[in-house]
Amino acid sequence: MHSVNFLDLFQGITTLISSPPTILFGRLGLILLGMVLLYLGKKGVLEALLMIPMGLGMIAVNAGVLFLDPVTADQIVSGAAVNGDPVVAQHLVEQAASGKMPGGLFMAPMVEKSDNLMYLMQVDFLQPVYTFAFSNGLIACFVFMGIGVLLDVGFVIARPFLCMFIALCAELGTVVTFPIAIALGLTNGEAASIAMVGGADGPMVLFTSLTLAKHMFVPITVVAYLYLGLTYGGYPYLIRLLVPAKLRGLKMPARAPVKVTSDEKLAFSVVGCAVLCLLFPSAAPLFLSLFIGVAVRESGLKYFIAVIDGPLLYGATLFLGLLLGVLCEASTILDPKVLILLVLGILALLISAVGGLLGGYAAYFFSGRKINPVIGIAGVSCVPSTAKVAQKEVFKVNAASIILPEALGASICGVITSAIFTGIYITLIPLIGK
Amino acid sequence: MTPAIKASARHWVFGTMIALAGVAINRVLATGLEDRAHAVLAAAGQLIALGGLFVILLGIRRRLRLANADAPPPVSS
């Protein structure tokens, strides 16, 4: 009878013990972080729709590590993009052949060759979702369609200058973070991707990083979504810090009773989508996704609205959270650049918020002290969280002050300006070098 | 056609034309030029195209204002 090593029965523990100390503590830390995210999601501190699948995915991928069989390990090693260091590449080949290569049965994000991908799609359960829906940006586009269906562009059309001005001011972080990131040693592509966190739109960050910095898209996107979850909790303090209570309670001027018609909204969406796609073809999938959502909403296509607003948006959000969690494997996340990304991500969001509030102040002064400056925070986008945060803060000071329509307008404009900045970065960076 | 819709329609036509002219400058004219001139003309094209969209928005705002002139007084928020 063969003797059986007890630890071989529990490979999750064996791989943990046999891994280098950085990976060991990284895995344990990420399991713990997954639990914290799940808890904070459940408590409503962070976005539950994303954090619960993401937290659980993070726990499972870092706990469920096993020694891959030589065939699967070889498919991963030979299918991945060529490693620059031949010594490391040789070591991986030997490790794979000996059956001692650690890995999970979730997915292999770095594999690019089609034959190897076909093999892995029959082994790893999330590989088909990752290959066919995540790495090509489809999930980001689905989320954007859902956002489009939820948006009422009438708020933007009713006060276009105010909304666009505030949204542009609130892109300050997207612009300022880029040179800071370059100065900290990131490449142009990485810098542009992390700067997009200032636009506060998860799908944009995902799309930009997949296009410009694919090797770093996991930590960049995870940082983005973590911080976007935190805006709901952090921005109220920033508003209270930068806007005195007297101004926060300012009542907006009375609104016009005649509304923008759905025909006008639809026609504007059609012209806007065409012009933006002509200007920024590389971001055309995002514009199409956003405006098809708007067009469906304004055309009153109830069945389409039900599909996009329900299964498509929430299905995409579920798999987005789950895949982001599963991508948070210790070996991927433990990159020295992640610390820089953490600092730059929060900086981008902070600068954007300050820029938005400065825009709010400018609107307040230019309008003859009629516009409530708190609207500025809504320009940071992150629809509709920032608009709700703005209204909540105003409501605490003056229950009779309603700023939600204008705040939503600024927030929606924020989505459009973020998409424009995505287009600018995606167009410019390949020209100046990634 | 009411005066409000007539005014709005003019803005739609001109706005769309300006936006498309901006696109043409950005995507057609600018591509034939060298470095600096290309960058300046491309940026100008983008601004003109976005300006065209704003002309349309102005038209809608104008229609709303004209329509509001006949509407009952607004309710204070």
Which string of DSSP letters, residue by residue, matches A382-428? Answer: TTTHHHHHHHHHHHHH-TT---HHHHHHHHHHHHHHHHHHHHHHHHH
Nearest CB to B57: which of A160, A275, A402?
A160
Least Cα separation, residue B19 to chain A (angstroms): 7
Q: Helix A217-242 crosses helix A313-327 at what angle (to 10 degrees)?
A: 110
Answer whether B67 touches A (CB < 8 Å).
yes
- Check the CA dihedral A170-A172-A174-A180 and report its sign: negative
Determine the pLDDT at residue A363.
93
CA–CA distances in Å: residue A319 to residues A21, A61, A108, A220, A327: 31, 15, 16, 17, 12
Is the predicted pLDDT of residue A402 greater than 60, yes or no?
Answer: yes
Q: Of A33-37, A175-179, A210-214, A356-360, where does mean pLDDT reach its minimum?
A: A210-214
Least Cα separation, residue B9 to chain A (angstroms): 11
> What rounded mean pLDDT belongs to chain B?
82
Structure confidence by residue, pLDDT tens digits, A153-162: 888 888 888 8
Which chain B residues are within 8 Å of A157, Cβ to Cβ? 57, 60-61
A354 exposed, middle or buried (CB, 10 Å; 0-12, 13-18, 19+)?
buried
Is the predicted pLDDT of residue A183 greater than 70, yes or no?
Answer: yes
Is the predicted pLDDT of residue A81 greater than 70, yes or no?
Answer: no
Is the predicted pLDDT of residue A293 greater than 90, yes or no?
Answer: yes
Residues A265 and A154 sit within 8 Å (Cβ to Cβ):
yes
Residues A348 and A194 sit within 8 Å (Cβ to Cβ):
yes
The three state secondary structure string of A214-232 is HHHHHHHHHHHHHHHHHHH
Determine the pLDDT at residue A211.
87
Answer whether B55 touches A (CB < 8 Å).
no
Domain boundaries, chain A: 6-132, 138-250+258-432
Least Cα separation, residue A336 to chain B (angstroms): 35
The β-bridge relationship of strands A66-67 and A102-103 is antiparallel
Determine the pLDDT at residue B77.
41
Structure confidence by residue, pLDDT tens digits, A321-372: 999 899 888 877 777 788 899 899 999 999 999 999 999 999 999 988 889 9
Determine the pLDDT at residue A32.
95
Q: Of A106-115, A133-142, A247-256, A303-312, where does mean pLDDT reach its minimum?
A: A247-256
Structure confidence by residue, pLDDT tens digits, A192-204: 999 999 988 888 8
Which chain B residues are within 8 Å of A275, Cβ to Cβ? 19-20, 22-23, 49-50, 52-53
Which chain A residues are within 8 Å of B72, Cβ to Cβ? 257
Give the Cα separation of A313 and A146 in Å (integer). Answer: 5
Least Cα separation, residue B2 to chain A (angstroms): 15
In B, minimum Cα distance to A404 occurs at B77
In A, minimum Cα distance to B15 occurs at A271
Helix, coil or strand: residue A298? helix
Residues in CB range of A45: below 8 A, 6 or more apart = A229, A233
Residues A265 and A153 sit within 8 Å (Cβ to Cβ):
yes
Is the predicted pLDDT of residue A270 greater than 80, yes or no?
Answer: yes
Is the predicted pLDDT of residue A83 greater than 60, yes or no?
Answer: no
- For residue A165, how far is the Cα from the chain centroid? 24
Is the predicted pLDDT of residue B26 greater than 90, yes or no?
Answer: no
Which chain B residues are within 8 Å of A272, Cβ to Cβ? 53
Partners of residue A66 on adjacent β-strands = A103
Residue found under tokens 């927030």: A411
What phi and psi, each to the nearest 5 degrees, are found at residue A259? -100, 165
- Check the CA dihedral A338-A342-A348-A349 and report its sign: positive
- Which of the four pLDDT bands, split at 50, 70 and 90, describes residue B76? very low
Residue found under tokens 């991963």: A76
Is the predicted pLDDT of residue B13 greater than 90, yes or no?
Answer: yes
Nearest CB to B49: which of A251, A256, A275?
A275
